[in-house]
Structure 1
Amino acid sequence: MKVEAWIFGVTTIFLVLVTPAYWLVTDSAGNGNVGGGGGDWTGTSALAMTGLLTLMVALYLGFHAKKMDARPEDRHDGEIADGAGELGFFPPYSWWPLWCGATLGVIVFAVAMAAWWLFAIGAVFGTLALSGLIFEYYRGEHAH
């Protein structure tokens, strides 16, 4: 994971350099005065938050890369066969994300229209859909 941490670290450095440059080059008034220092709040804040997010991921990956053993793809002497074996459980398909998205759409629509009765209905169905998504493959504490 050291390579991934470096990729996000370089991206963070790039965004830290680009954000002030973007602020200085853009003109919020739109009168064509380039370099006027007006700045575009939306783009500048989006770049700043993206920089913070990439920094967060880089720090997370960097801390965990120090704690764990090197993966076969991270070692210089790693062989293809070293990475063989079970990678994990990947479910074939699920209908629960569809229902979670549909109920979220109902909830957002209800908030936008101030229809609180519809919000309550969406919240109930959303709770059911989210519970179904979370416990889809749960078979009990001691199931084999």
Structure 2
Amino acid sequence: MKIEAQLFLYGILFFVPVGLIYGFWSGGEPVGTVSIPLTGGLVGMIGGYFALLARRIGQRPEDDELGEIEQGAGNQGTFSPWSWWPLVVGLAASIAFLALAVGWWLMVPAVALAAIGLVGWLFEFSRGQHAH
């Protein structure tokens, strides 16, 4: 995870100065002057998350320079290949984008459907108190 954290954290060193230079040379053009440094903040948040994750999980086979391919064999995570909840979330996102073109009133059912889809996806494998 260290290389991923470094990759994103180095993005701060690029995007923030480039955004300031852009703002100076463009005469304060509002969109780029704001969005480029905010992109630096975004990659900083992702890099910070990866750095915290790297401290928590420790060394992986990918982080070892002398690592072999077979060291990474085995399960790579828990996935739900037969889940229908991503389809519900995607439908909610499509209705939300349709709301931008048709009318803002469509955002209400889109948000409700997105909340249902996200809660269902989150608790899909729950075996605790809220299992379904």
User: The TM-score by the shorter chain falls in which range?
Assistant: 0.7 to 0.9
1:100 is matched with: 89
Question: Does residue 1:133 correspond to 2:125, yes or no?
Answer: no
Deviates more, 1:123-132 or 1:92-101: 123-132
| Partners of 2:114 and 2:70 in 1: CA distance | 44
Cα pair distance change 1:106/1:78, threshold 3 Å: closer
| Partners of 2:71 and 2:54 in 1: CA distance | 19
Q: Flag the structure with higher helix content.
A: 2
| Partners of 2:117 and 2:125 in 1: CA distance | 14
Q: Could you say what secondary structure the match of 2:24 adopts?
A: helix
Cα pair distance change 1:102/1:63, threshold 3 Å: closer
User: What's the CA shift string for 1:95-121, capped at 9, x where partnerless?
Assistant: 3223223335546729x74648x83x5
Deviation at 1:40, TM superposition (A): 1.2
1:21 is matched with: 21
Residue ranges of structure 2 left out of the alignment (5+ in a row) = none
User: What's the CA shift string for 1:5-51, capped at 9, x where partnerless?
Assistant: 2211221101122011111222xxxxxxxxxxx22111111111111
| Partners of 1:126 and 1:69 in 2: CA distance | 35
Q: Report the count of equivalent residues.
A: 128
Alignment of 1:106-117 (within 5 A): 106=95, 109=99, 113=103, 115=105
| Partners of 1:127 and 1:104 in 2: CA distance | 11
Question: Does residue 1:80 correspond to 2:80, yes or no?
Answer: no
| Partners of 1:60 and 1:132 in 2: CA distance | 25
1:8 is matched with: 8
Cα pair distance change 1:134/1:66, threshold 3 Å: closer
2:49 is matched with: 60
Cα pair distance change 1:126/1:74, threshold 3 Å: closer
For the pair shown, which has the larger CA radius of gyration, 1 or 2? 1
Give the TM-score normalised by structure 1.
0.68
CA RMSD of aligned residues (A): 3.1
* Identity between Structure 1 and Structure 2 (%): 34
| Partners of 2:39 and 2:116 in 1: CA distance | 33
Q: Could you say what secondary structure the match of 1:20 adopts?
A: helix
